[in-house]
Structure 1
């Protein structure tokens, strides 16, 4: 993953350290942080201690872990952006209609970042998690975003090697490009075991009413053994359209 961090600045080094933690980490030792970041040991130790002081890291079991302070900042950013607050009623309604795993995601670089994930006891064992990332090209929600993204971003994704996450991941640029064109025409995207085996997905973009640019996307995911994505097209489209309209009205009220 391209973290975009500048190793020559303090902020860049801090970003490298924070992003060195994976979703499965409970505690990461100093030596492992040095290995993952490629920074000098003294630099990592000094910055990690400073991050502990400001509650972005915690000390634990001879190493460090991400602190609750980061979660607070992330939730504050989501609320200020307004997207999660406005989208949640539509996401909850979509879950009630489908009783499958519902996602809300946004573009960040060449990845989708999951802003929200709603699922009950029947939810699919999808690799997604709130705050987590996945490549745009192999997820239903990511493809919905990529299909409507800036042409330059599409060009970059299609010209770079496409990571194969499963045997069914689309890694041929021409095939992916044609699928993106179909998504634009139909307004929905599909995934069949492309990000993880055993799951299927249908997604739809949340488009800015004024510019037609993708603000976010919504999807429903379920086990491929029983879940039929095409049966939920109307519900997913309706949720995406409802969120888009609500965002547009909110923007109009602010301008007024």
Structure 2
């Protein structure tokens, strides 16, 4: 009997998840029939699930149809903090191993915004305030975040000419797309004094399973970057793998 109840409970959750997934990115909302088609569920089943989800504010019904509700936004905000908390021990470990500054960033349109940092303990170091918004096209963490998007999406986001921070900044959309495409293939992005003279970076995209996009990066003085590039890259990739293993993606 218990096994049958567990199986039924899993089925209900799976169906509710299908309904919620069908509403992803549907800002205007969908009708019950459209949800039923997208989730491959009977319309009567969708009606019952939507009613239950609406009672919990996970979906709301408006003039355009049914769309995701405010309760999911609150859960997403909580999940955002959880990702930072989950990553923190591994970020600290990476910082201790490399003795370089580690940043955790989140995607915010044209910027990568720092949400956590473990600063280097060396006399010559690269440190910025948590909450700083960095240009997405000229930083390692920014380009790492862009690897999550298609070329078309990047072209819609960026506009020529791009802001130049140093003589090495990539100032055309084509050049940034080429750099991002290379990062997608090899699994890591690089900033070689593109954002600030004398400062380099390596960044990786963090698979979180959430709608938010995160990156982890190392900020390194150019004087140490080139001679330690391979070991820094390996340590960063290990950190990424450890965090993703805990998150379970």
TM-score by length of 1: 0.60
1:133-148 to structure 2, matched below 5 A, reads 133-148=133-148
Gaps of 5+ in 2: 1-76
Alignment partner, residue 88 of structure 1:
88
Asked whether the 8 Å contact 1:86–1:243 carries over to 2, the reply is yes
1:1-256 to structure 2, matched below 5 A, reads 81-122=81-122, 126=126, 128-149=128-149, 151=151, 153-208=153-208, 215-228=213-226, 229-248=229-248
Shift of 1:122: 1.6
**Structure 2 Cα separation of the partners of residues 118 and 160 of structure 1:** 34
Asked whether the 8 Å contact 2:80–2:212 carries over to 1, the reply is no
SS in 1 for 2:120: coil
Asked whether the 8 Å contact 1:112–1:142 carries over to 2, the reply is yes
1:122-175 Cα distance to aligned partner (Å, 9 max, x none): 265547320110111110011000122355541223434311111111112222
SS in 2 for 1:131: coil
Asked whether the 8 Å contact 2:109–2:157 carries over to 1, the reply is no
**What root-mean-square deviation, in Å, do the aligned CA atoms of Structure 1 and Structure 2 show?**
2.4
**For the structure 1 residues 135 and 244, does the alpha-carbon distance in structure 2 shift closer, same or farther, using more than 3 Å as the test?**
same
1:57-100 Cα distance to aligned partner (Å, 9 max, x none): xxxxxxxxxxxxxxxxxxxx678630111000110110111001
Between the two proteins, the alignment pairs up a number of residues equal to 171
**For the structure 1 residues 82 and 178, does the alpha-carbon distance in structure 2 shift closer, same or farther, using more than 3 Å as the test?**
same
TM-score by length of 2: 0.62
**Structure 2 Cα separation of the partners of residues 104 and 178 of structure 1:** 24
SS in 2 for 1:227: helix
**For the structure 1 residues 144 and 223, does the alpha-carbon distance in structure 2 shift closer, same or farther, using more than 3 Å as the test?**
same
**For the structure 1 residues 207 and 150, does the alpha-carbon distance in structure 2 shift closer, same or farther, using more than 3 Å as the test?**
farther
Shift of 1:214: 6.9
**Structure 2 Cα separation of the partners of residues 225 and 121 of structure 1:** 16
Asked whether the 8 Å contact 1:140–1:201 carries over to 2, the reply is yes
**Structure 2 Cα separation of the partners of residues 187 and 101 of structure 1:** 20
SS in 2 for 1:82: helix
Gaps of 5+ in 1: 1-76, 250-256
